[in-house]
Every structure is written in C-alpha cells, then in structure tokens.
Structure 1
C-alpha cells in the first residue's frame, strides 16, 4: 500500500525515476509523484522537482531509512531548486523521523 509522501521508484516516460507520492487517483490505478531524479546509465541524476503521473504497476517503494545527513542533503536540494513547498515538507518529515 502506498501513502502520500512515500519515496518511490517509478517508470515515467520509459525512464526509471525517484520521487515521492503527491496523490493517488480515486480508482487507485494512477499515482501522481514529484520526480527529483532520473536514472541515466544506471546512476541517479538530480533534477528540479517536477510532477509526473505513473501507473500503479510501475511504482515500487524505496526501502530506505534516511539518516540526519540525508535529510539535510535533501533539504539543501530543495533550497537549491527553490522549491519552498518541498522544503517545508522535508523539514516536517525530518522532525517526525528524528
């Protein structure tokens, strides 16, 4: 089962991406994510967060627990990209995981 804010791997436009769930369709067949990285030649390439729609079948959980330094790096990325909403979401989530 997926929840809002979960970090996931997904396939978007035939490319493996990393993102977090923004919304789930009422019919639960589509997931709306914010992409923060795309895989190029097997390595993640960070990008300015953009929204994407993916089929439920193309999405899987990222089984990771973030360390304090990881949260700090993501927060820095949010600042770098100028994404205030993501910044606030990350700082709130960091406090919950601490």
Structure 2
C-alpha cells in the first residue's frame, strides 16, 4: 500500500494523473514502491498515444485513485468487457460477463 493526499493506493487500483513528462494518463497500478514514492501504471488511455499499452512510472503524488463506478446498463458492461479483454483481466471479464447474463435472464423472465 501507498499513501498519497487522496487515498491509500494498492495494486490493481484504477488511477488518473500526470506522468513525469506531463502527459495525462488513465490506467491501473501494476506495482508500487513506498520508499521511492513511485507507482508503475499500465496506461490504458493518454493524451500521448505512444504510451498507451505501456507501463510507466509515475510519482505517487501525481496520481489520484478513480472512484468506483456502478454500471447501469448493458452497453457500459460491454465496454468494460472489452476493456477487461484488452487488459487481460480474466476475473474481471468473468464477473462482467456474469452481470450481462444476469441482465439477459432478467429480461427473458419478464417476457
């Protein structure tokens, strides 16, 4: 775990912030170093397209944990499923797929 001004950070957390080069970044934490006050972030989106898909080091003070978001509809779930596939997160993919199947069963039960 690591502490910054916003919250306690841990591996797997989704974060946004500025890289050491000043790029805006959204991604998830792969690892952290308490001593160096650095986090390694797998970049999912950035204003510098060359960093997308790479892991970069960011200063702990320059990242902010993104709030957990409750998914409201099937289209949001499909987008997140694509994101889970692109990041290779099998557990998240399975969880999201289960939610889509639950929605499908609920709709079929109403017919």
TM range, smaller chain: 0.5 to 0.7
- Local SS of the residue matching 1:33: strand
Contact 1:23 1:31 (C-alpha < 8 Å) held by counterparts: yes
Consecutive aligned runs of 4 or more in structure 1 exceeding 6 Å deviation: none
Q: Does 1:62 align with 2:66?
A: yes
Q: Residues 93, 55 of structure 1: CA spacing in aligned structure 2 closer, same or farther, 3 A cutoff?
A: farther
- Tell me how far 1:77 sits from its aligned partner: 3.9
How many residue pairs are counted as aligned between the two chains?
A: 88
Structure with higher strand content? 1
Matches within 5 A, 1:7-26: 7-12=14-19, 13-26=21-34
Structure-2 separation of matches of 1:31 and 1:93? 26
Higher radius of gyration, 1 or 2: 2
Deviation of 1:50 after TM superposition, in Å, equals 1.4
Q: Which has the higher helix share?
A: 2
Structure 1 unmatched ranges of 5 or more: none
* CA root-mean-square deviation: 3.1
Query: TM-score of the superposition, structure 1-length normalised?
Result: 0.67
TM-score, normalization by structure 2: 0.60
1:49 matched residue in structure 2? 53
